[in-house]
Structure 1
Amino acid sequence: MLHTRATVLAGCIAALFPLHAAADDATPLAVVQVTGHYNNAVGTSDAASQGSITADLIAARPAMRTAELLEFVPGMIVTQHSGDGKASQYFLRGFNLDHGTDFATFIDGMPVNMRSHAHGQGYTDLNFLIPELVQRIDYKKGPYFADEGDFASAGAAHIRLADRLPQGLASLALGESGYRRGLLADSVKAGAGNLLYGAEVLNNDGPWDLPQRVRKYNGMLRYSQGAYNDGFSITAMAFTNQWHSTDQIPLRAVQSGLIGRFGNIDPTDGGEASRYSLSFAQRMRTESGLLEFDAYALHSRLELVSNFTYYLDNPVDGDQGSQRERRNMAGANLAQSWRADIGGLEMHNKAGVQTRYDRLSPVGIYQTARHAVTATVREDRVRESSVGVYGENTTQWLPWLRSMAGLRYDAYQFNVASEGGSYGVANTGKARAHLVSPKLSLMFGPWQRTEYFVNFGKGFHSNDARGTTQTRLPDGTATDPVTPLVATRGSEIGLRSEIVPGLQSSLALWRLNIDSELLFIGDAGVTEATRPSRRRGIEWNNHYVASSWLLFDLDVAATRTRYGDTSPDGDRIPGALNRVLSFGATVRDLGPWSGSFQLRHFGPRPLLEDNSIKSASTTLAYVRAGYQLGKRTNVALDIFNLFDKKASDIDYYYRSRLPGEPADGVDDIHFHPVERRGFRVTLAHHF
């Protein structure tokens, strides 16, 4: 049935957009290029909140963690609530995205988000990525684009890897608290193409009383021929990581002097992860347009050991639990773009199909004591498959009016075999779901180097497969399965302007409604369907090339986030950001000197629905100073948390129990502190 529906819709798209046009799919608007670190010129996008980041900016700014690459997306905040070995915590457009739900991330067409994950739906771990091998990042926000499907309601980032390097690179970075990183990368001619390789080794203890002992190893091998829009690449990537972790800690334990800000309650938390992938990407110019094809296969393993409530449920051995999964994933994307002229109207069309299959064998949640399994909460084998078919038409109606209309159809199949836990096989079952998502955008101008946008779209995120067949909770209570696909509806009006020479500026007012904030609670092993929600906000992004050696960035975002219904508990969504501010200054090629300064601020978050308890704001500054020692060698000093702020990466409010406390525990703020001021020195040699 899944295949039949997809085939019928693909036929409809083919009939709507016949393949009989010229080969050029370039935008009909004139492009005004500003040489700089973002490529957000007028005429290059279909929404005010869409853009691209260049490799030059990525190389110019310091990053404490690999996942902070996503902070180049304006309005995005990346933090961590545990050890650096696991996926980071993401915030965007009023979402606490957890580890990636509602923001889709791709590497050359290969999805990074893990669905039905042991720890959280949409889990996005970027530790396998080597930042120096990233060529560019293309980002979109909102559900307005037909080629974006699962997890993309708040936005999406497409990370493109380099096919070749201008020079080989060997670098060594040393820092406080046992930080050591080595990198070797180069590309060489190989037959008619290029062979690129990269290897990274990273050790880091961090400032924690319990050294986190991150031991990360990355490798990449990539063969490519031709150009990005007319060539192919084959990429193999390998990643392993082990670490100890200091998770969020109770505020009362710090205030009483039981532990310090960098202390821990359970010293046996930690984890290990591995990821191995092989991917193929091809872009081919044909007489009918541009043909795009991506295929990928991946194997990953993960074990996370955490204790968030300490001695609340088990006063003897503690509440430590383990989340484990072993995953095989494969998929492919096929798209055809072409141009047509009908009735004197210039049209650009695109149709595509996206498939994905995940096999988890098994995915489990266990009670542990110092890593030893004492009981199984649940253990499942999951088969999840999906197909998405879409079509998109862009028409230039007038010199100043263009439209983009799209339609997307997604169908999912879930197969869950529940093999462990107190409820046995009660949650075994199958489920199917499908969703149609229309999209529409209108673009006006440009007038006086300013373009205007109106965008509408329906999107979705899938829910954890285990929730779609769940009939029993871990305590044996009967429950109903959750909705497999959660619909979202968004709209946006905005503008993009280059009226000031050297300045690319955009302004967007947006809103996003979600039918139900469904979430799999990985720590407890249950799926909860929460209330409908509403988000609306404003974003103002500015990228200014003051001179050939001085660049500025200023991004401001304000959001109002509420549940969409009434409840005596209140209407606030815990963890939702209300404001984000980011300022950056980059100096390049000033004689032998270069450098950058980055300031980021994110505002307080409600921790309870009634807003009676809130977190504090967090403001951090990073700075880099670089010096060219010779023609091929340079050194850089990075300083993180420049002003040594004692702030939080994230805050939660829930009940936990420390030794000697009442049996029913204590409600308290639990926080993960930002790292104190730290220094790193990097010596890089190009060959």
Structure 2
Amino acid sequence: MRFGKKALVLAMAVAGAGAQAEEEDVKLEKVQVVGHYDNAVGTSDAASQGVITGDLIANRPALRTGELLEFVPGMIVTQHSGDGKANQYFLRGFNLDHGTDFATYVDGMPVNMRTHAHGQGYSDLNFLIPELVQRIDYKKGPYFADEGDFASAGAAHIKLADHLEQGIASLSLGSYGYQRAVVADSFQAGGGTLLYGLEVNRNNGPWDTPEKVRKYSATLRYSAGTADDGYSVTAMAYHNTWNSTDQVPLRAVESGLIGRYGAIDPTDGGDSARYSLSCAMRKRDGNVLFEMDAYVVHSSLDLFSNFTYLLSNEEDGDQFNQSERRTMAGFNLAQSWTSDLGGLPMRNKIGLQTRYDQLSPVGLYETVARVRTATVREDRVKESSAGLYAENVTQWQPWLRSLAGVRYDAYRFDVDSSIEGNSGKASDHIASPKLSLIFGPWDKTEYFINYGKGFHSNDARGTTQTRLSDGSASTPVTPLVPTRGGELGLRTEIVPGLQSSLALWRLDIASELVFVGDAGETEASRASHRHGIEWNNHYIATPWLLFDLDLATSHARYTQDDPAGNYIPGAVNRVASFGVTVTDMGRWSGSFNLRHFGPRPLTEDNSVRSASTTLAYARVGYQLSKRTRLSLDVFNLFNKQASDIDYYYESRLSGESSAVSDIHFHPVEPRTLRLTLSHSF
């Protein structure tokens, strides 16, 4: 089937809809952004959708692996514990905790862990080797039919490379005992390409109790064929152990009981492991493209935490162990095809996404110095889901296209609990329609109207729960909670070298039901509403000079009045980031990044608020030879004393006669230097 000018316009437009790599050649011819972005006019279906390439990731310093997601405009990534634990994420008026309402994928494998020992949607990216990341495709809002659970605020799809232009060997040494070694390469084998990557990391951090991170990561991938007719098989392995200095009470630091980097319970820490095998296949037959991803993941986690110190147990302390052993498997199928109906070029897509999680067991235990003393609850859980979706892109006029879709998700939960009355089975289903209209471009500017319904799942243990751990009665929670969002936006390239986008968005959640892993119970909170504005700018001043400026502000409130107040604790209200990247200045290169994280309410009545945090990172690189490079990264360049995160709750310290409500904070790390010697081969 032959297509004319309208079909070519449609192909370019559809290239931005998420899984449209079949149009990659067209899009790459259209977009020339010095290898850092792929966000030109005509490549996406929302102003808040975009792509970050591996070139930009390689040119910007990151203190932690999870900060890869800070390349998503408006996202803040922090940590309140050791560097083996999932990061804390903030976006669009959310304290996303460790990932709830933001979906993350690596080559089609979901990273968010449902019914997790520490929290619903737990997203730990520490298993990634950043040097192997080829690109990050991000979306925001529930407007896309191929995005399901946890994606109401947004989603990020991290794509690993199939091959490397050159082999990589690097060694990093830094402050506080930091050591990191990476080796990676790819080569032809049996008609395809074999890629490998290895990472070893050690770090004590600035903490009075050395963190003693011992991290190992490995990736092995075999790929063959082309983007339209090929396959890949990937094996990944990761193991990490660490000590944690969790958030500490402000009064303990101000009184001199501990220093700023001290700990109340020095035995906190964790052990995490993840092993996966995945495969991906793409097959084109004329104007039809078939895509398949399949995966199996085995993971384990033991977290030892003490956030309240002596509140519940005056003698032995309140430390607890959150533990799980998980096997997760699933597959994604999709078929898309182009057609012409009544002279209107179209692209259609149908897909099926399945997932099965088995936890044997997932538990919460009382501990003293990491030794279990009692079982609070222990569950064996089987959770399965299937999502079916369809979408249609129609080019109605050269200046108007639509993206309409719908998805249907069904879940089944099977819980075997140690608490009498909490075992049982449950099921739920939900339908989510989507619609987007894209106008233009006119004067190198296009306009977007997006609307969609989405959802997030709740912890399976809450769906069958009739008793709390203290024996009191409880009501099971709603398994699938609906969300609804809309967005008005524009993207323009009217200024030469500048890609700029503006989005006005709104998101409503029927109930922010969460599993409180620290207590082993599921709690229901009220319905909520959020809205805000995002303005993102990427400016290529010259081929060697790139500027970024991202600004976001948001407003978050509970929609059901309560005497306690209607503010949502931890909801971020403003985020700003500014970056400068310099490349190919002779032998020199460098970057500077400034990130501002605005104040948040810590209580529902807004009587206690956090301070804001502003941090700067910098990198200076020097090319010693054609293949050898030396770079210096400086984190917290101005040595600010600020918080990575703040909470407000009750705790009890030694010598205190009763509980004390206080701010508990995790400090940002002081100025930290890391020197890296890298060699290409």
- Normalised by the shorter chain, which TM-score bucket? over 0.9
Q: Which residue of 2 aligns with 1:535?
A: 530
- Report what 2:665 is aligned to: 671
**Are the counterparts in 1 of residues 13 and 43 from structure 2 also a CA contact under 8 Å?**
no
C-alpha contact (below 8 Å) 1:25/1:338 kept by paired residues: no
TM-fit CA distance, 1:24: 11
Partner of 1:321: 320
Corresponding residue number in structure 1 for 2:72: 73
Counterpart pick for 1:582 among 564, 577, 584: 577
Residue matched to 2:264:
265
Determine the C-alpha separation between the residues in 2 that align with 1:683 and 1:154: 38
Does structure 1 residue 506 correspond to structure 2 residue 506?
Answer: no
| Equivalent residue, structure 1, for 2:452 | 457
Aligned residues between the structures? 661
Of residues 457, 474, 477 in structure 2, which corresponds to 1:479? 474
Structure 1 residues 344 and 377: alpha-carbon distance in aligned structure 2, compared to 1, 3 A threshold: same
Between 352-361 and 27-36, the greater mean CA deviation after superposition: 27-36
In 1, the alpha carbon distance for the partners of 2:229 and 2:160 equals: 16
Shift of 1:283: 1.4
Q: Which letter maps to 2:93?
A: G
SS of the aligned residue for 2:56 comes to helix
Aligned to 2:655, which of 628, 648, 660?
660
Name the residue aligned to 1:35: 33
SS in 1 for 2:180: strand
Residue of structure 1 equivalent to 2:512: 517
In structure 2, how many angstroms separate the alpha carbons of the residues matched to 1:573 and 1:23?
Answer: 46
Deviation at 1:567, TM superposition (A): 1.1
Matched, 1:394 2:393: yes
What is the SS of the residue equivalent to 1:26? helix
Unaligned runs of 5+ in 1: 1-21
What residue in structure 1 maps to residue 333 of structure 2?
A: 334
Alignment partner, residue 97 of structure 1: 96
Residue 226 of structure 1 deviates from its aligned partner by: 2.0
Give the letter for the 2:31 counterpart: Q
Amino acid at match of 1:271: G
Partner deviation per Cα, 1:419-467 (whole Å, 9 max, x = no partner): 3xxxx33100000000000000000000000000000000000000000
Paired residues for 1:11-22 under 5 Å: none
Q: Does 1:547 align with 2:545?
A: no
What is aligned with 1:368? Answer: 367
* Alignment partner, residue 628 of structure 1: 623
- Report the Cα distance in structure 2 between the residues aligned to 1:60 and 1:621, rounded to whole angstroms: 15
Are residues 148 and 539 of structure 1, via their aligned partners in 2, closer, same or farther at CA, if it must alter by over 3 Å?
same
- CA separation in 2, counterparts of 1:429 and 1:445? 53
- Measured in 1, the distance between the counterparts of 2:561 and 2:226 equals 55
Give deviations 1:528-553, integer Å, cap 9, x for gaps: 11000000000000000000110000
Say whether residues 1:205 and 2:190 are aligned partners. Answer: no
SS at match of 2:131: helix
Q: Secondary structure at the match of 1:69?
A: helix
- Residue 307 of structure 1 is matched in structure 2 by 306
Query: For residues 612-643 of structure 1, what are the alpha-carbon distances to aligned partners after superposition, in whole Å with 9 as ceiling and x for unaligned?
Result: 00000000000000000001000000000000
- The separation in 2 between residues aligned to 1:25 and 1:290, in whole angstroms, is 16
TM-superposition CA deviations, 1:569-617 (whole Å, max 9, x none): 1110000000000000000011000110000001000000000000000
Superposition deviation, residue 53 in structure 1: 0.3
Which letter does structure 1 place at the counterpart of 2:576? L
Listed one character per residue, the Cα deviations across residues 135-181 of structure 1 (whole Å, up to 9, x for unaligned) are: 00000000000000000000000000000001111000000101000
State the alpha-carbon separation in 2 of the partners of residues 594 and 234 from structure 1: 36
SS at match of 2:176: coil
The match for 2:567 is 572
Q: Which amino acid aligns with 1:547?
A: T
1: CA distance, partners of 2:582 / 2:168 = 22
Aligned AA (1:684) = S
Q: How far apart are 1:281 and its partner, in Å?
A: 0.7
Q: Deviations over 1:555-580 (max 9, x none)?
A: 00000000011111111000000000
Paired position in structure 2 for 1:618: 613
8 Å Cα contact 1:234-1:280 kept in structure 2: yes
Q: 1:24 & 1:356 partners in 2: Cα distance?
A: 35
What letter is aligned with 2:502? L
Checking the alignment, whether the CA contact within 8 Å between 1:520 and 1:527 is kept in structure 2 is yes
- Whole-angstrom distance in 2 between the partners of 1:286 and 1:648: 54
Q: How far 1:23 moved relative to its partner?
A: 12
Q: Write the distance in 2 (CA, Å) between the matches of 1:511 and 1:505.
A: 20
Residue 191 of structure 1: how far off its partner (Å): 1.4
* Mapped partners of 2:292, 2:195: distance in 1: 21
- Distance in 1 (alpha carbons) for counterparts of 2:315 and 2:287: 69
RMSD over aligned Cα, in angstroms? 1.2
State the match for 2:634 in structure 1: 639
Native 8 Å contact 1:23 1:338 kept in 2: no
TM-score with structure 2 length normalisation?
A: 0.96
AA aligned opposite 2:143: Y
* 1:254-274 deviations in Å (ceiling 9; x for gaps): 000000110000010000000
* Equivalent position of 2:245 in the other structure: 246
In 1: Cα distance, 2:101 partner to 2:556 partner:
15
Aligned to 1:26: 11
Question: Is the aligned partner of 1:686 residue 2:671?
Answer: no
Counterpart CA distance in 1 for 2:549 and 2:226 is 33
Letter paired with 2:152? S
Shift of 1:284: 1.4
Counterpart position of 1:12: none
Deviation digits for residues 202-253 of structure 1 (CA, Å, limit 9, x no counterpart): 0000000000000000001000012333311100000000000000000000
Partner of 1:4: none
Could you list the runs of 5+ residues in structure 2 that have no partner in the other structure? 1-6, 15-25
Which AA in structure 2 matches 1:681?
Answer: L
Structure 2 counterpart SS, 1:623: strand
Aligned match of 1:287: 286
**Identity percentage over the alignment?**
71
The 8 Å contact of residues 9 and 398 in structure 2, kept in 1 or not, is answered as no
Q: CA deviation at 1:192?
A: 1.0
Give the Cα–Cα distance (whole angstroms) in 2 for the partners of residues 305 and 562 of structure 1: 33
Structure 1 position 288, deviation (Å): 4.2
Question: 1:556 & 1:362 partners in 2: Cα distance?
Answer: 43
SS in structure 1 at match of 2:12: coil
Partner-residue secondary structure (3-state), 2:55: helix
TM-score by length of 1: 0.95
Trace 1:383-422 onto structure 2 (pairs within 5 A): 383-419=382-418
1:592 aligns with 2:591: no
Aligned partner of 2:18 in structure 1 is none
Q: Is the 8 A contact 2:203 2:212 kept in 1?
A: yes
- Which amino acid counterpart does residue 677 of structure 1 have in structure 2? R
Q: Partner letter of residue 362 of structure 2? A: V
Letter in 2 for 1:203: R
Deviations, residues 286-314 of structure 1 (Å, cap 9, x unaligned): 12411110000010000000000000000
CA distance in 2 between partners of 1:579 and 1:426 (Å): 44
CA displacement, residues 628-675 of structure 1 (integer Å, 9 cap, x when unaligned): 000100000000000000000000000000011023x10000000000
The one-letter amino acid paired with 2:11 is A
1:364-421 superposed Cα distances (whole Å, 9 cap, x missing partner): 00000111111111000000000000000010111111101000000000000003xx
Identify the residue that residue 133 of structure 1 maps to in structure 2.
132
